[in-house]
Structure 1
Amino acid sequence: MVNLSICDFEKRKDFLIYNLGKITLAFSTAEKDRSFNRNTSYGIDNLNSIKNEFRLQDVIYLNQIHSDKAYIYDESYTNIKEEEGDSLITDELNVAIGVFTADCVPIIIADEKSNVIAAIHSGWKGTYNSIVLKTLSKIEEGFNINKNETKVFIGPHIRKCCYEVSEELKEKFLLKTKIDEYKLFDGRKLSMQECILNDIRNFGINEDNIYSLNLCTHCERDTKLYSYRKSEGTYGRLFSFTFIK
């Protein structure tokens, strides 16, 4: 796995941009207090502003429900934003697909050769139910991808340093994943990334094509991020997205 830092990204307003040529991916921050909440008019305005900022035809997202459901999007799928799920896949040009997070894990998948992308929201339920592995399998079934060319990016989320879960949930993860306890946990503090990496590797993605932006939404100090667990009452949402030009 390749650990990325802020220095590896282009900073544009409150986005961290990573360019792969035809494919671009972006992780929003909370530097300008801009929240992307699809349930508020302010959030919708901010989502729509991405179209102008990045010269795109549309910005596509789902009604997220902490599931393992993945959808393939094309321009004929007119009601996609009302679908319930947590993973989007597309090969459409000039359309961003993205996910909302505020401690959960955003994952971007990009195959530059086949021009296929995916955006995934993985909370503990999605992580436990292997939503990333299921999305990779769905991409493999629907598109002519090459595992050696496919890249996976793990964005800012609440990390092992800060994410404590119940003893019952700890036992469930250990039983399901078979990952060594001291690798997966520190006491009851869970590494969702370790579970996700396990699924990515089991699918067959090359180790040097797995990237992680090492920022914790809960304790990061240098870059402002939204965190559900750190907030009191109201909280903002980050938006992670990708598109093909």
Structure 2
Amino acid sequence: MINLYKEDFKEKEDFLIYNLGKINIVFSTAKNDRSFNRHKDYGVNNLNTIMETFKLKNLEYLNQIHSDKVYIYDGDKTLINEEGDALITNEEETAIGVFTADCVPIIIADDKNNIVAAIHSGWRGTFNSIVLRTLEKMESRFNLDKDEVKVFIGPHIRKCCYEVSEELKKDFLDKTKIDENTLFDNRNLSLEECILKDIRSFGIKENNIFSLKLCTYCEDEVKLYSYRKSVGTYGRLFSFAFIK
């Protein structure tokens, strides 16, 4: 796995951008206090500005429900009212994205065949291996090249700050079979380690796995939104990818 930092990204307004030729991977920040809450008018307005900022024709996202449901956007009809937590597309000039405020945003990109996916992975989605489900669906529907697939793990609440119950700790240890000292620090859970296990089990090369080392809870240099830190009064980050 390759660790990425703010300096590895191009900054544009309150976005961090990583370019892969025709594919762009973008993580929003809270730098300008811009929140992307699809259930608020201001959030929808902010979402719509993405098309103007990045000169795109379309923007797609889902009604997220902490599931392992994966959709494919084929340009036929919008999916914004569908319930699920992962989107895949090979449509050009269409951004697909997910909302987070501690949960893990994951972007998958095959920059050889121009296929992208955006995933929202909270603890339930992580527990149910939504990233692996997405990779499997990409492989079944598209000419996916495992050697070219790159996975980007975005800002989320990290092991340093994410304490869970003893019951959930036991469930994760039983399910993942990951060494306790790797997965936990006392009751602090690393969602990333679970996700990495699924990515590696699919066969993604180690040097094609990238992690943006920002914790939504304790990061000081880059302003981010955190559900836990704000005690419920929080904004939403939006992580997305597009092909141009």
The normalised TM-score by structure 1 is: 0.99
Coordinate RMSD, CA, aligned: 0.5
User: What do residues 158-181 of structure 1 show as CA deviations (whole Å, max 9, x unaligned)?
Assistant: 000000000000000000000000
Distance in 2, Cα, partners of 1:15 & 1:121: 18
Q: Which residue of 2 aligns with 1:31?
A: 31
The answer on 1:223 being equivalent to 2:222 is yes
Distance in 2, Cα, partners of 1:75 & 1:129: 28
User: What do residues 78-127 of structure 1 show as CA deviations (whole Å, max 9, x unaligned)?
Assistant: 3x100000000000000000000000000000001111000000000000
Identical residues among aligned pairs (%): 69
Aligned length: 244
User: What do residues 57-84 of structure 1 show as CA deviations (whole Å, max 9, x unaligned)?
Assistant: 1110000000000000011123x10000
Distance in 1, Cα, partners of 2:167 & 2:155: 26
Distance in 2, Cα, partners of 1:145 & 1:99: 22
Q: Return 5+ residue gaps in structure 1 as ranges.
A: none
CA gap 1:191/1:233 in 2 versus in 1, 3 angstroms: closer
Distance in 1, Cα, partners of 2:165 & 2:156: 19
Q: Which residue of 2 aligns with 1:15?
A: 15
The normalised TM-score by structure 2 is: 0.99
Q: Which residue of 2 aligns with 1:237?
A: 236
Distance in 2, Cα, partners of 1:233 & 1:94: 34
Letter in 2 for 1:230: K
Q: Which residue of 1 aligns with 2:55?
A: 55
C-alpha deviation, 1:3, in angstroms:
0.2
Distance in 2, Cα, partners of 1:189 & 1:77: 41
In the TM superposition, structure 1's runs of 4+ consecutive aligned residues that sit over 2 Å from their partners are none
Q: Return 5+ residue gaps in structure 2 as ranges.
A: none
Distance in 2, Cα, partners of 1:22 & 1:11: 18
